[in-house]
């Protein structure tokens, strides 16, 4: 036998129930977004690497160590997208979606790639459904975005804590940054190597470090909410008021910073109680459009991690009942069975035609094995009388019915 080839490390197949769970989660999120009048945008999987280094920030984990980058045959530096927002913003600018003066509500779905250490809920290819609102500073939008995340969790029956914070703006964040650096410098020796490097370059990242000693230090750091300017304070207060009006439960976490550099003002994360990991996360990025060469455009959004949500979905809705059509006899019966199967499908009934030959007993065994709920035998006698045995494979009960009656019976079930 030849050598077997496996999936690449950190990549995986979604088979059967897993694939159905994937579709279930994505469909639920899409429905909620469509209801909120978001429009889908389908984006390329690869972008120029500099789109991500410029947007996500070069002192972030994603850019420093997690990106899948390569050169194409023309020597261009290209990356498999590690997230979706940068691509949406690139498309927004490239296609001048700002030109008509309306704000845009867009959503995307697809694979993201990050070279991380694979573990439960962390893969090198994973999927996100993300939503972005571009062109508004109104805190109503912040509240509605968080409300959508809350809706997703409720619809999927997932228990999570919504943590929120404000990261301020260009006016107030520098003062906080300074205060944070001053505090962290006193603890330089206790910080992990990565954080010692981050100290001057990107001190806010230290608040997101997963190393235990850094976490302890971060817990006593100055809080950004004490440094917000009046505008950011008001914005944050309004977001909280609107969330309360919507009955969205949240907790304030003044140390929440997110893993990407482009955020400003509101940020939030939904942390699963069961997994202890973030399943949906997002926030405002009021400078990103301008930084990527577009007109100044405040914006915000979130991304939902499909695999992590899948881990938390316990039950899938039952599939439609399956009927197994068994041709019994020769060519004539096969052709009739072929037509009957087609007719049932046209009626919306989930139908499989048997490709097996042989004894009826074996056929019924096969039907049970593939999870069929009913079987119909199409033989010479049945064709002559116009009546067919519809066998319930769970109760073993059998009814002799016309094709029309079979269709009605099965339709009433699904």
The secondary structure element, H or E, covering residue 255 is: none
Number of residues that bind ligand ATP (CB under 6 A): 17
Rounded to whole angstroms, how far apart are CA atoms 39 and 97?
13
Give the residue nearest to ligand ATP (CB).
305
> Which of 303, 312, 323, 349 forms a contact with ligand ATP (CB under 6 A)?
303
Give the nearer residue to ligand ATP in terms of CB position, either 162 or 377.
162
Is residue 236 at the binding interface for ligand ATP, with CB under 6 A as the rule? no
- In whole angstroms, the minimum distance from the beta carbon of 262 to ligand ATP comes to 11
Q: Find the shortest distance in angstroms from Cβ 115 to ligand ATP.
A: 9
- Contact set for ligand ATP, span 192-211 (CB under 6 A): none
Nearer to ligand ATP among residue 207 and residue 279 (C-beta): 279
Give one DSSP letter per residue of 288-339, joined into a string.
HHHHTTS----EEEEEEEHHHHHHH---PPPPPPEEEEEEESSHHHHHHHHH
Choose between 254 and 259: whose C-beta lies nearer to ligand ATP: 259
Shortest distance in whole angstroms from residue 322 CB to ligand ATP:
33
In the bound complex, what is the minimum distance in angstroms from residue 27's beta carbon to ligand ATP?
Answer: 18
User: What tokens were used for 171?
Assistant: 């006016």
| Ordered alpha helix ranges (H), 119-172 | 139-155
Task: For the CB of residue 72, give the shortest distance to ligand ATP in the complex, in Å.
Answer: 24
Minimum gap (Å) between residue 408 Cβ and ligand ATP:
45
Asked if residue 126 binds ligand ATP (CB under 6 A), the reply is yes
Gap between the Cα atoms of 290 and 300, Å rounded: 14
| Binding positions for ligand ATP, 80-109, rule CB under 6 A | 83
Q: For residue 199, what are the CA distances in angstroms to 141, 162, 186, 211, 224?
A: 33, 28, 11, 15, 16
**302: β partners:** 131, 282
In terms of Cα–Cα distance, which of 332, 353, 330, 333 is closest to 341?
353
Among 322, 390, 304, CA closest to 107: 304
Sign of CA dihedral 35, 272, 81, 94: positive
Q: What residues from 142 to 161 belong to the interface with ligand ATP (CB under 6 A)?
A: none
From the number of C-beta atoms within 10 Å of its C-beta (0-12, 13-18, 19+), residue 283 rates as buried
**Member of 20, 30, 115, 122 binding ligand ATP (CB under 6 A):** 122
Contact between 66 and 114 (Cβ < 8 Å): yes
24, 123, 242, 364: residue in contact with ligand ATP (rule CB under 6 A):
123
Smallest separation (angstroms) from ligand ATP to the CB of 45: 16
Of the candidate spans 91-99, 115-123, 325-333, 363-371, the one that interacts with ligand ATP by CB under 6 A turns out to be 115-123
Residue 259 interacts with ligand ATP (CB under 6 A): yes or no: yes
DSSP string, 63-107: IIII--EEE-TT--EEEE-S-SHHHHHHHHHHTTTTTTS--EEEE
Closer by beta carbon to ligand ATP, 65 or else 339? 65
Please select the residue that binds ligand ATP; options are 87, 203, 301, 305, rule is CB under 6 A. Answer: 305
CA distance 319 to 337: 23
C-alpha–C-alpha distance, residues 169 and 65, integer Å = 27
Task: Based on the shown chain and the rule CB under 6 A, indicate whether residue 308 belongs to the binding site for ligand ATP.
Answer: yes
Shortest reach from residue 326's CB to ligand ATP, in Å: 44
- Per CB under 6 A, which of residues 265..284 are in contact with ligand ATP? 277-279, 281
Closer CB to ligand ATP, residue 107 or residue 126? 126
Rounded to a whole number of angstroms, the minimum distance from the CB of residue 338 to ligand ATP is 44
Residue 270 makes CB contacts below 8 A (sequence gap 6+) with: 149, 150, 153, 160, 161, 162, 163, 278, 279, 280, 281
Which listed residue (116, 290, 291, 347) binds ligand ATP by CB under 6 A? 116
Rounded to a whole number of angstroms, the minimum distance from the CB of residue 156 to ligand ATP is: 13
Whether the CB-CB separation of 51 and 87 falls below 8 Å is answered with: yes
User: What tokens does 178 get?
Assistant: 């300074």
Q: Tell whether residue 262 is a contact of ligand ATP (CB under 6 A).
A: no
The C-alpha atoms of residue 305 and residue 292 are separated, in whole angstroms, by: 25
Catalog residues that contact ligand ATP under the rule CB under 6 A: 83, 114, 116, 121-123, 126, 128, 259, 277-279, 281, 303, 305, 307-308
């Amino acid at each position: 036998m030849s050598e077997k080839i496996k999936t690449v490390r950190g990549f995986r197949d979604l088979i059967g129930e897993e694939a159905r769970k994937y579709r279930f989660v994505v469909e639920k999120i899409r429905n909620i977004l469509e209801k909120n009048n978001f429009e889908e945008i389908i984006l390329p999987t690869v972008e120029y690497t500099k789109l991500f280094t410029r947007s996500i920030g070069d002192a972030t984990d994603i850019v420093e160590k997690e990106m899948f980058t390569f050169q194409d045959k023309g020597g261009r530096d290209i990356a498999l997208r590690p997230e979706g927002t940068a691509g949406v913003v690139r498309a927004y600018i490239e296609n001048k979606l700002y030109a008509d003066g309306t704000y845009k509500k867009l959503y995307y779905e697809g694979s993201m790639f990050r070279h991380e250490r694979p573990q439960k809920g962390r893969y090198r290819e994973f999927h996100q459904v993300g939503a972005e609102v571009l062109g508004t500073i109104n805190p109503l939008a912040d509240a509605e975005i968080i409300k959508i995340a809350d809706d997703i969790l409720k619809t999927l029956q997932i228990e999570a804590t919504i943590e929120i914070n404000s990261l301020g703006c260009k006016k107030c964040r520098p003062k906080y940054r300074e205060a944070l650096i001053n505090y962290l410098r006193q603890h330089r020796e206790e910080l992990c190597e990565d954080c010692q490097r981050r100290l001057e370059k990107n001190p806010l990242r230290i608040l997101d470090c997963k190393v235990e000693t850094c976490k302890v230090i971060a817990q006593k750091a100055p809080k950004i909410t004490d440094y917000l300017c009046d505008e950011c304070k008001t914005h944050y207060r309004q977001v909280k008021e609107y969330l309360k009006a919507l009955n969205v439960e949240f907790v304030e976490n003044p140390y929440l910073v997110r893993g990407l550099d482009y955020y400003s003002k509101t940020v939030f994360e939904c942390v699963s109680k069961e997994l202890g990991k973030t399943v949906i996360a997002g926030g405002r990025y009021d400078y990103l459009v301008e930084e990527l060469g577009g007109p100044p455009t405040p914006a915000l959004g979130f991304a939902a991690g499909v695999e992590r949500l899948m881990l938390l979905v316990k039950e899938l809705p039952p599939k439609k009942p399956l009927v197994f059509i068994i041709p019994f006899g020769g060519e004539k019966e096969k052709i009739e069975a072929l037509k009957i199967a087609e007719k049932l499908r046209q009626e919306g009934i989930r139908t499989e035609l048997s490709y097996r030959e042989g004894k009826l007993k074996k056929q019924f065994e096969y039907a049970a094995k593939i999870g069929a709920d009913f079987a119909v035998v199409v033989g010479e006698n049945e064709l002559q009388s116009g009546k067919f045995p519809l066998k319930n494979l769970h109760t073993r009960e059998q009814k002799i019915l016309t094709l029309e009656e079979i269709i009605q019976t099965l339709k009433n079930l699904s």
